[in-house]
Amino acid sequence: MRTRTTDDEAPHSLADAKQDVDPILETFVYLYTESRRATKDIAREHGLTGPQVTVLKLLEGVGDLSLSDLSERIQARNSTITGIVDRMQRDGLVLRRRSERDRRVIEIVLTPRGRALARAIPVQPMQMFASALRALPREDRETLRRILRAMSDHVRAASDDTPT
């Protein structure tokens, strides 16, 4: 049986496609698993969850964010982020503050305690990935960004079609 790909219109057998796709999927699984493992270990050391570490480090790096912006950057639903932020606020790591630029927007802000904890937490997974990406030629990084964006768009569209 022969199939056609949408990108290059070159015929490929299903076995060829599986041979091409399986190693890529295995790499995604490895990177995801390694990142989760490292983040969970770091989080556990500090009495946090992995997503809480992600929020702390993101806010430390980019500054205050609205709930929607935070959700978008972490690629999670607003309801999921709300629960994470609620627990972090309860623990004195973040607070909600009305934006000075747009009074309708509520921003998530690190407290002094949250800022100190964020500084104390290393970002090993992000540093490892960033280092590996910086080692790639610029053209490869641009190609990878384009491919990953297309994959993300496809997954997002498929998940939007999935009933919850």
118 against 11, higher pLDDT: 118
In the prediction, which pLDDT does 5 show?
Answer: 46
Query: Could you say which DSSP state residue 7 is in?
Result: T
Q: What is the pLDDT of residues 20-32, one digit of tens each?
A: 888 888 888 888 8
**Residue 19 pLDDT level (bands cut at 50, 70, 90):** confident
Name the strands in the sheet holding 106-110, side by side, starting at the edge strand that comes first in the sequence. Answer: 65-66, 106-110, 94-98
Alpha helices in 46-137 (DSSP H): 50-62, 67-74, 78-90, 112-120, 124-134
In the prediction, which pLDDT does 85 show?
Answer: 96
pTM equals 0.64
In the prediction, which pLDDT does 2 show?
Answer: 40
CA angle (115 as vertex; 65, 45 as ends), nearest 5: 115
In the prediction, which pLDDT does 124 show?
Answer: 65
Average confidence (pLDDT) over 47-70: 91
In the prediction, which pLDDT does 162 show?
Answer: 61
Average pLDDT value for the chain: 85
111 against 32, higher pLDDT: 111
Is the pLDDT score of 38 beyond 90? no
In the prediction, which pLDDT does 4 show?
Answer: 43
State the DSSP H helix or E strand holding residue 16, giving kind and residue range, or none if neither: helix 14-45
**Residue 96 pLDDT level (bands cut at 50, 70, 90):** very high
The torsion angles phi and psi of 76, rounded to 5 degrees, stand at -135, 160
Tell me which residue of 139, 93, 91, 151 sits closest to 118, measured CA to CA: 93
